[in-house]
A and B are shown apart, each in its own frame.
Chain A
Amino acid sequence: MSDAAVPAAPRRIRMTVIGPILALVLLVVAGALMNPNFLGWDNVTNVLARSAFIGIIAVGMTFVITAGGLDLSVGSMAAFIAGLMILVMNSLVPSMGVGVPVILVGMAVALLAGLAAGLLNGILITRLGIEAFIVTLGSMGIYRSLVTWLADGGTLSLDFNLRSLYQPVYYGGIFGITWPIIVFALVVLVGEVVMRSTAFGRYCAAIGSNEQVAKYSSVRVDRVRLMTYAALGLLVGIATIMYVPRLGSASSATGMLWELEAIAAVIIGGTVLKGGFGRVWGTVIGVLILTLIGNLLNLTDFVSPYLNGAIQGAIIVLAVVLQREGKAR
Chain B
Amino acid sequence: MTVLALRNVSRSFGPIEVLHGVDIALRPGRVHALIGENGAGKSTTMKIMTGYQPPSSGQVLLDGRPVGFANMGAAEDQGISMIHQEFNLAEQLTVEQNIFLGRELKRGPFLDKPAMRARTRELLDRLECRVSPDRVVSTLSNSDKQMVEIAKALLRDTRVLVMDEPTAVLTRAETAILLRQVRALREAGTAVLFTSHKLDEVEEIADDLTIMRDGRVVWTGEAAAMDQHAMANAMVGREMSDLFPAKVSTPGEVALEVANLSVPGFSHDVGFTLRRGEVLGVAGLIGSGRTETFEGLCGLRPATGEVRVFGQPVRIDHPWQAQDLGLCYLTEDRKTRGLLLGKGLRENLTLQALSKFDRGLLDTGAEDRALTQAIADFDIRGHRDALVGNLSGGNQQKLLFAKTMLADPQIIVIDEPTRGIDIGTKQQMYVLIRRLAAQGRAIVVISSEMQEVIGLADRILVMRHGRVTGELGADATEDAIVRLAMGVAPTPSKEPA
Contact = CB atoms under 8 A, between A and B. Distances in A.
A176 interface: no
A246 B331 CA distance: 55
Contact of B319 (A2, A10, A218): A218
A206 B340 contact: yes
Contacts of A216: 300, 319, 329, 331, 337-338
B322 A218 contact: yes
B385 A1 contact: no
A5 B18 contact: yes
B342 interface: yes
B110 interface: no
A144 B323 CA distance: 44
B358 A198 contact: yes
B351 A8 contact: no
A14 interface: no
A205 interface: yes
B383 A8 contact: yes
Interface string B383-417: 10111001110010000000100010000000000
> Which residue, of A6, A215, A220, has the highest number of chain B Cβ atoms within 10 A?
A6
A203 B354 CA distance: 9
A3 B347 CA distance: 19
A7 B336 contact: no
Contacts of A10: 385
Interface string A1-39: 111111111101000000000000000000000000000
Interface residues of A, number: 32
A304 interface: no
A276 B407 CA distance: 23
A91 interface: no
A314 interface: no
B385 to A, nearest CB: 4
A198 B362 contact: yes
A174 B432 CA distance: 62
Contact-residue bracket for chain B = 35 or more
A43 interface: no
A198 B215 CA distance: 41
Contacts, number: 116
A215 B318 CA distance: 9
Nearest to B361: A197
A193 B39 CA distance: 38
B343 A209 contact: yes
A95 interface: no
A164 B354 CA distance: 49
A8 B16 CA distance: 12
B318 A199 contact: no
Interface string A189-218: 000010001110011011001101111111
Given A2-B16, A217-B403, A7 B343 contact: no
A307 to B, nearest CB: 37
B429 to A, nearest CB: 17
B320 interface: yes
Nearest to A215: B319
B362 A6 contact: no
A219 interface: yes
B175 interface: no
Contacts of A206: 340, 343, 347, 351
A115 to B, nearest CB: 22
Nearest to B355: A199
Given A197-B362, A217-B352, A218-B320, A4 B16 contact: yes
22 contacts: A1-B39, A1-B41, A2-B39, A3-B382, A4-B16, A5-B13, A5-B18, A6-B382, A7-B387, A8-B383, A9-B344, A198-B358, A198-B360, A198-B362, A199-B355, A206-B347, A206-B351, A215-B319, A216-B319, A217-B351, A218-B322, A276-B342
Interface of A: 1-10, 12, 193, 197-199, 202-203, 205-206, 209-210, 212-220, 276-277
Given A5-B13, A216-B331, 13 more contacts: A1-B13, A3-B395, A4-B18, A6-B383, A6-B390, A6-B391, A202-B351, A209-B343, A210-B341, A214-B351, A216-B337, A276-B340, A277-B342
Interface of B: 13-14, 16, 18, 39, 41, 43-44, 214-215, 300, 318-320, 322-323, 328-329, 331, 336-344, 347, 351-352, 354-355, 357-358, 360-362, 364, 381-383, 385-387, 390-392, 395, 403, 407
